[in-house]
A and B are shown apart, each in its own frame.
Chain A
Amino acid sequence: MATSLGDIGSELTSYYPGATPKEISDAIIESIESEPMLRRIIKMVRLPDKQQIQLANLKSRRLPRKQAMGVRERVELVFFFERIKSSYIAQSGYASLPFISGNGAKPALRPTFPETSDANLGIKGRTSVKPDVGPQLADIIEAHLMEDQRSEPTKESMRHDVRESVVSAFILEEIRKRAAGKQMLSLDDISRIRKALEFVDEGVSSDEILELLDSDIKLRKKNLDVDCVAELYRGDDLLPPQLQTKHPEAGNTEELIYEKLTAIILHEYRRLHRQAGLDFINEKMTHDEYLERTQRYAVHADRLYPSQF
């Protein structure tokens, strides 16, 4: 889309060689400021903030090229409309667009917009008029933004999922950096990893998660001399089969991930409980605080516990 807009900008430059880049972009802005078009565009894109732009960039680096291209285009579109948002003054009334006559006569590049105090991009009361820039721009916008005739809720959830998957990928990267610095995963980290699991193959790799969990398990083995996975199955031989912990199926990556997650959750809860017990014994907290804190850890860990286990 942005590339296409860039082409349009180049084309306009060829029509108006004396026009500055700002004048050209103003013309483009004005041409798409008509009510139905802008409303649809804004509804589609819903301008994100700086962090989301960064996350989008991150995701674009991670995704396969085809997907990355689509994301990059969206990022560029986001930047583009950031500029729109910052420069646009919301209008009421009709915004006339520069008339490009076929005989080369220069149009008025600075149309006069009706005055209004409302800076909101929600255009209210404006007469709905399609910009008179010829069919190309409208078609281009249609082609790039409308994509297909999906329903509005699907588009909404798609945008949400794109953001969430990008966020998840970003968070995984942060967690990996900390893990590389020999820091064990916390229950909050586990919570984020569990969230990221929803976006496997959408920018989040299951192998990556597996590697992250494996390194945490190794770290616990090294620092605390505990085999978390073995601990998960400890004592199962003394229980009836229906109460034993389920083993993952061979080759099932998802179950393998959940096994390791469960092992880490269990160990982390134990570690926190034990630390609270020591603090209680050493009079760093009262008995009530000890009960409250260990219960909080238990509830937190329980909520993260995969149901398969």
Chain B
Amino acid sequence: MQTDSTHPNSNSLDVFDVPVRKYLESQIAELGYSPGELRPVIDIAVSQSKLEVSEEASKGHYLSYSRFLRARIEEKALGYIRAVLSQSGKWEAARERIKSYSSVFLTGAGISFESDVPLSRVLEDMLSFCQAKDWQQLRDDQPKCLKFKKEFGRICANKKPSVSHRLMAHNFSRHIFEIICLNWDNLIERAALELGKDVGKENEDRDVRDQRRLWKFHGDVDNIKEDNTRGIGGWLFPDEEGYVFDSFTRYVRDTSLIGQLFVFVIAGYSEKESNVYDSVISVFEAQPARPTFRVGLDLARLHEQYYVVGPSDFVLEKILPPASA
């Protein structure tokens, strides 16, 4: 039966969530997987499919017959899921390398997605809440900036570490030498605490004495300062080009980390910040060349040898030794 709206938006397509998910779970079971373990994949697949179908319908590509729309969402989502599940070769390649010669991880907002930590769109609401019209105004207004940081910290305190956080905490520092986390949240640290581990953290630009560190260049809810100076507890906001501690550059050189063979894993990070790309990614990936695996949601890159499509929780479970081990 035709829906009321000729051009449904993704919100109106929410009405199909329950039957779509039920269908996808049955198909996943037929493929031999447990629907529970693929829940983050289903979530991403369904939301992405609804967005695409909504865009197609808004361009007038087809009318909005209810049953047909639902079928379209189901097939798109299932296609996405099957693509993710088809990468066992990549999982195995990454896992073997990480177990053989360990890894360095660079992570962004994507690994905190499953923990429901506010991402960029939601952060705009927080800007409004702090009565700043944009990030520049927030930077320029110290009280508002402080309010923003504290509010984010409060929200974060109610979130729980995800599978990704726990796996990284568990495998640090045996299979993961260094973690560069560009998120403000402290979920990796809390996951480590749950495991009784102490993760040495560097959230300010100062000389480092020990090895195997958790680096937080862009700010930390555990280090909120009134002023917002980079390198001394200052937070970097989404409109900036990224920041890397000088101490990190020295550390990499002094510890000869760069000369060691390890797998470089970039998970849940868009690589859009030029400073991070120039000072970390291009260095680790190519100087010298080393296997670099990227974990993300760009289905168009499915055929790239070292690009693993999928949510971080799901993929890291495949490539990192389990938390129970």
Which residues in A have some Cβ–Cβ distance to B below 8 Å?
232, 234-236, 238-240, 242-246, 262, 266, 269-270, 273-274, 277-278, 280-281, 283, 286-288, 290, 294-295, 298-299, 301-303, 305, 307, 309
Contact = CB atoms under 8 A, between A and B. Distances in A.
B70 interface: yes
B1 A294 contact: no
Contacts of B62: 298-299, 302-303
Contacts of A299: 61-62
B88 to A, nearest CB: 12
B71 A269 contact: yes
Nearest to B3: A243
Contacts of A283: 303
Interface residues of B, number: 35
Interface in B211-237: none
Contacts of B299: 287
Contacts of B238: none
B19 A235 contact: yes
A238 to B, nearest CB: 4
Interface of B: 1-4, 15-16, 18-20, 22-23, 56, 61-63, 65-68, 70-72, 74-76, 78-79, 82-83, 86, 299-303
Given A235-B70, A302-B61, A309-B67, 7 more contacts: A234-B23, A274-B78, A274-B79, A277-B83, A294-B76, A298-B62, A305-B63
Nearest to B83: A281
Residues of B contacting A: mostly: helix
Given A270-B75, A277-B79, A281-B302, A302 B68 contact: yes
A286 B83 CA distance: 13
A295 B303 CA distance: 21
A278 to B, nearest CB: 8
A246 B3 CA distance: 13
Contacts of A280: 79, 83, 302
Residues of A contacting B: mostly: helix
Contact of B68 (A236, A290, A294, A301): A301
A231 to B, nearest CB: 9
Contacts of A309: 1, 65, 67
A266 B68 contact: yes
Point out which of B1, B18, B62, B74 has the most chain A C-beta atoms below 10 A from its C-beta: B1
A294 B302 contact: no
A158 to B, nearest CB: 33
A290 B4 CA distance: 30
